[in-house]
Amino acid sequence: MRRHVDRLPVLDDEDRLVGIVTRHDLLKVFLSTDEALREEVIREVVENGLWLSHRAVEVLVTEGVVTPRGQTERRGEAEAAVSMTRRTDGVVAVVDEPGHRVDDSRLEPERAAVHKVAGERPRRL
């Protein structure tokens, strides 16, 4: 901005021009509303990424800071939710609050493959 650059060339590994990026392109991910960001985190992280109901994890967003609240079945799911949320365009920070019922980080591989879905008997993946 200080040098009044509005566009930059995008080059590939062989220094060939593959496109142009504008200041608007770079900043537009941070221009979305908190509500739009909340909806994207619910859709892409909770529902599509973890295959959980949107009611399983409450998602709060304030000025781009995302706070997932609730409880997942396993610790690995809670950690994955935080990690995926951090990689979502427009997220400034993530407050790590989701809890979990089972700490699956220390299970032996044989036991880690067995899990229980609510209302079902344990089964092997």
- List the one residue out of 34, 32, 10 whose CA is nearest residue 22: 10
Give the chain's mean pLDDT: 82
Other beta carbons within 10 Å of 61: 23
| Domain annotation for the chain: domains and CATH numbers | 32-124 (3.30.1340.30)
Better-scored residue on pLDDT, 3 or 20? 20
Residue 95 pLDDT:
92
In sequence order, the 6+-apart residues with CB closer than 8 A to the CB of 88 are 37, 40, 41, 44, 45, 66
Each residue of 57-101: pLDDT tens digit?
889 999 999 998 888 888 888 888 899 999 998 899 999 866 777
Q: Hey, which bits of the chain come out as E strands?
A: 7-11, 17-22, 57-62, 65-74, 93-94, 99-102, 114-115, 123-124
Are the beta carbons of 46 and 72 closer than 8 angstroms?
no
Each residue of 13-69: pLDDT tens digit?
999 999 999 988 877 777 789 999 999 999 999 999 988 887 878 899 999 999 988
DSSP 15: S
Say yes or no to pLDDT of 111 above 70.
Answer: no
